[in-house]
Amino acid sequence: MNMLPNIPPFWSALAYWLACMLYVFLLPRRWRPVQTCLASLVNLAALTICMTVTAEWQDWAFNLGMIVTAALTAVPFFVLCRHSWRNAVYYCARAFILGGFTASLAWQLYALMILPRVGRQSALIEAAVILPMFAVMYLAMYLIERMHRTEMWELQVTTASSLTVASIALIIYIVSSISYLSIRTPFAGTTDADAFNVRTFAYLGGVAILYAYHLQICENHARQELTAMQNILQNQYANYQRSEESVELINRKYHDLKHQIAVLRREVKEGKNLEYLDRVEQEISAYEAENKTGNRVLDTILTTKSLHCRQNGIQLTCVADGAALDFMDVMDLSALFGNALDNAIEGVSVLPDDEQRLIHLSVARQKGFVSIRLENRCKETMHIEKGLPSTTKAEKGLHGYGLKSIQATVAKYGGSVTVHAENGWFELRILIPLLTV
C-alpha cells in the first residue's frame, strides 16, 4: 500500500484525450464528423507518445512533460473547433483538469481495490476495470455539460475569463502534483496512497470550481441575452409607434395632394400640363401608405418597411391575412414582424445585384394555424447552425438576437419557428395555433 504503481502512460493519455473529445463534440466544429474523428485519433497518438516518453522523467522534468501534454490537449480546440482563441484556452483548461481527475480517480480505485486482489499488473484486467470507469465518469460529465450546450455554442469567453480559468487550472495542477516533488510541504503525505489522495481530491476540487465558474458565466450570458431581447422588443414597439404617426401624416398629405391635383386637372386644358400632372400623380402614388391586410399594426409595419425598401432598391411583396393575427398583442406583433423584416432587409442589402434584392411575406390561416412565411434572397454561402444563420460580423456575441426575439415571441403563443437556407434563398417559417385566441 505504501508503494502504489503510477498511472500507465496510455491511461493518462486516454483520459486527457477523452476529456478533450467530450468538449469538442459539444462545441461548433470546423470539419465533418469523419474528418474530426481522424484528426482526433492523431491527437490521441501524439498524447500517448508524449506521455510514454515523459513517464520516466522525474521532478521538474516531469512537469515540463506535462506542459507539453497540456499543449497537446489544446490542439483539438484550436484545430477542430470553430471559435476564438479565448474559448479554446477556456475549454482546454477545463478538459485538462477533468482528464487529470478521471485518470487519477480511476487508477486509484484500481490500484487500491483491484490490484491487491490480482497480485500483478495485467493490461487486460486494467482495461476491463478502467474503461468502464472512464465510460461512466465521462458519460455523467457529458450529460451535465449537455444541459448548457446552447450557451456553449453562443458563449464568447472574454480574455479575463479565459486567463482566470487557465490560472485556476495551473494552481490546481501545482497543488495536485506538489506532493510528488517533496514530502516537506503542507500537501504531502508519507505514502503513495497519500499522494494519490491529494492529487485526486485536488483535481476533484478543480473540476467543481471550474464548473461553478462556467455556470456563473452561463448565467451572466443568459441575463445579457434577456436584456438584449427586451431592448429589441421595446425598440421595435417604439419604432412601430413612430411609424404609426408618420404613416398617418403621409396618408393625410397624400390625399390632400390627390384632391389638389384633381382640381388642377379640371382647370388645365393643355396636353403638356396634363402629362405633367399625370407624372406627378404617379410619383406621389408610391407614397400612398396603404396596406390593407386587415390588421392595423401589420399595415403600419409593412408601410414603413415598404417605403424603406423603395428607397433602397429592394422589392418587397406581401400577401397577408392580417385578421388572422388579431389575437396577438401589439408589442408582440411589432417585435415579430419588425425583427423578421429587418433581418430580411439586412440580408438582401449586402447583395450587389439590385435584381436579387427580393423579399416576399405571406400570412395565411392553415388548418387551425396561422402560417407566416418570409423569404428573401441571401448569400450562397449562408449556413444554418443551431437554428441561427451564420454570421461574418465581428461581434458574433451580438448575433441572432433578432431571431431569438422572434422565437421567444412565437413560443409565448405555443408556436414554432424554423429557418432554412438553400440555393441563395433564406426562409423563415412560423406556425402559431389559432386555438390561443
Distances (CA, A) of 100 to 45, 48, 94: 18, 14, 10
Q: Do 28 and 68 share a structural domain? A: yes
CA distance 183 to 210: 28
Cell of 349: 442589402
**Residue at a domain's end among 165, 196, 223:** 223
Number of independent structural domains in the chain: 2
CA distance 283 to 207: 69
Q: Give the pLDDT score at 93.
A: 95
Tens of pLDDT, residue by residue, the chain (437 residues):
445 678 889 999 999 999 999 999 999 888 888 899 999 999 999 999 998 988 777 766 777 888 888 899 999 999 999 889 999 999 999 999 999 999 999 998 888 888 878 777 778 888 999 999 999 999 999 999 998 888 888 888 999 999 999 999 999 998 887 766 555 555 555 666 677 788 889 999 999 999 999 999 999 888 888 888 788 888 888 888 777 766 666 666 666 666 666 766 666 665 556 666 666 666 556 555 456 788 888 888 888 888 888 888 899 999 999 999 989 988 899 889 999 999 999 989 988 888 889 999 999 998 889 999 999 988 866 667 666 676 545 445 445 678 888 998 999 899 999 998 888 889 999 999 986 44
In a domain, 1, yes or no: no
Q: Do 207 and 73 share a structural domain? A: yes
Q: Do 191 and 42 share a structural domain? A: yes
Cell of 378: 441571401
**Residue at a domain's end among 164, 193, 223:** 223
Q: Give the pLDDT score at 217.
A: 92
**Residue at a domain's end among 166, 197, 223:** 223
CA distance 223 to 105: 36
Cell of 19: 476529456
In a domain, 2, yes or no: no
Closest CA to 75 of 27, 37, 40, 29: 40
Count how many Cα atoms sit within 13 Å of the Cα of residue 14 in the half-sphere of its side chain: 17
Q: Do 289 and 302 share a structural domain? A: yes
Distances (CA, A) of 9 to 40, 63, 130: 18, 14, 13
Q: Do 82 and 193 share a structural domain? A: yes
CA distance 121 to 370: 68
Partner residues linked to 81 by β-bridges:
29
Q: Do 283 and 213 share a structural domain? A: no
Rg (CA), the chain: 32
Count how many Cα atoms sit within 13 Å of the Cα of residue 425 in the half-sphere of its side chain: 10
Cell of 272: 403638356
CA distance 204 to 106: 12
- SS3 for the chain, per residue? CCCCCCCCHHHHHHHHHHHHHHHHCCCCECCCHHHHHHHHHHHHHHHHHHHHHHCCCCHHHHHHHHHHHHHHHHHHHHHCECCCHHHHHHHHHHHHHHHHHHHHHHHHHHHHHHHHHHCCCCHHHHHHHHHHHHHHHHHHHHHHHHCCHHHHHHCCCCHHHHHHHHHHHHHHHHHHHHHHCCCCCCCCCCCHHHHHHHHHHHHHHHHHHHHHHHHHHHHHHHHHHHHHHHHHHHHHHHHHHHHHHHHHHHHHHHHHHHHHHHHHHHHCCCHHHHHHHHHHHHHHHCCCCCCCCCCHHHHHHHHHHHHHHHHCCCEEEEEECHHHHCCCCHHHHHHHHHHHHHHHHHHHHCCCCHHHCEEEEEEEEECCEEEEEEEEECCCCCCEECCEECCCCCCHHHCCHHHHHHHHHHHHCCCEEEEEEECCEEEEEEEEEHHHC
Tally Cβ neighbours within 10 Å of residue 400: 22
In a domain, 4, yes or no: no
CA distance 148 to 308: 40
**Do residues 54 and 12 lie in contact, with contact meaning Cβ atoms separated by under 8 Å?**
no
Q: Among all chains, which residue has been given the C-alpha cell 398617418?
A: 248
Q: Give the pLDDT score at 185.
A: 55
Q: Do 68 and 19 share a structural domain? A: yes
Cβ neighbourhood burial of 140 (10 Å; 0-12, 13-18, 19+) = exposed
In a domain, 73, yes or no: yes
Q: Do 218 and 260 share a structural domain? A: no
Contacts by residues 118-125 (CB-CB < 8 Å, ≥ 24 positions apart): 121/5
Q: Give the pLDDT score at 392.
A: 47
In a domain, 3, yes or no: no
Tally Cβ neighbours within 10 Å of residue 307: 18
Q: Do 212 and 263 share a structural domain? A: no
Q: Do 213 and 325 share a structural domain? A: no
Q: Which residues constitute the domain of residue 28?
A: 9-223
Q: Among all chains, which residue has been given the C-alpha cell 470550481?
A: 209
pTM of the entire structure?
Answer: 0.71
**CATH number, domain at 308?**
3.30.565.10
Q: Give the pLDDT score at 361.
A: 94
Q: Do 25 and 156 share a structural domain? A: yes
Q: Do 307 and 321 share a structural domain? A: yes
Residue 207 identity (one-letter amino acid): V
Cell of 122: 495485467
